[in-house]
Chain A
Amino acid sequence: DAGVIQSPRHEVTEMGQEVTLRCKPISGHDYLFWYRQTMMRGLELLIYFNNNVPIDDSGMPEDRFSAKMPNASFSTLKIQPSEPRDSAVYFCATRGGPGETQYFGPGTRLLVL
């Protein structure tokens, strides 16, 4: 298995632009998590899905952030409009079956200028 796949790996954009981050979970995993990591705030859970349904989005910072999971193989995290304070590394992680381990993707390093 290729593991959790995220794209792009790096993104540089200008303030005000729309940013879309993508995640392909490990096949068969029914939980998907989006995290954000910064030096100041550490690793924060933004939202998570179970069987493609959003379960807890209390970590989503504001309305500029949205996440979707249209099917079991794909999820997106969108920021519109982006701001410099959104600069961070965004991780997608998945979990499957009875196991409680989360498997992390390599992350997307986002820089908003």
Chain B
Amino acid sequence: SQQGEEDPQALSIQEGENATMNCSYKTSINNLQWYRQNSGRGLVHLILIRSNEREKHSGRLRVTLDTSKKSSSLLITASRAADTASYFCATNYNQGGKLIFGQGTELSVKP
């Protein structure tokens, strides 16, 4: 399967702490994307990192990509209760539109 694997499956932290989620994949990629899903809602795109990039920032989000290890991490700094959601990595393997999603990390941020 080309599906990415994420860990941890669930993460519970206090408001203000940092949250780190990891994603591993199996074959060479074109890009890797992170999405967030609030309970009962559709997924929302957070950030995209290309195979020739190593790190990207967007507000409180920092994404790294290590193509030699076929892994990526998403760091959310200074977490807030509103960050409580499931976070998914998705990999694009070719120039087409297809994304393969991981199983997700369920993040709970306690106030």
Please tell me if A54 contacts chain B, counting CB pairs below 8 Å: no
Please tell me if B13 contacts chain A, counting CB pairs below 8 Å: no
Binds A, one of B63-71, B76-84, B90-98: B90-98
C-alpha spacing A56/B100, complex, angstroms: 13
C-alpha spacing A60/B96, complex, angstroms: 18
- From B42, B45, B98, B103, A45 is in contact (CB under 8 Å) with B98
Please tell me if A17 contacts chain B, counting CB pairs below 8 Å: no
Main secondary structure of the interface of A (DSSP, over half): strand
Interface size class on chain A is 20 to 34
Contact, CB under 8 Å: B42 / A42: no
C-alpha spacing A48/B92, complex, angstroms: 14
Interface residues of A (CB under 8 A from B): 4, 31, 33, 35, 42-43, 45, 48, 50, 55-56, 91, 93, 95, 100-107
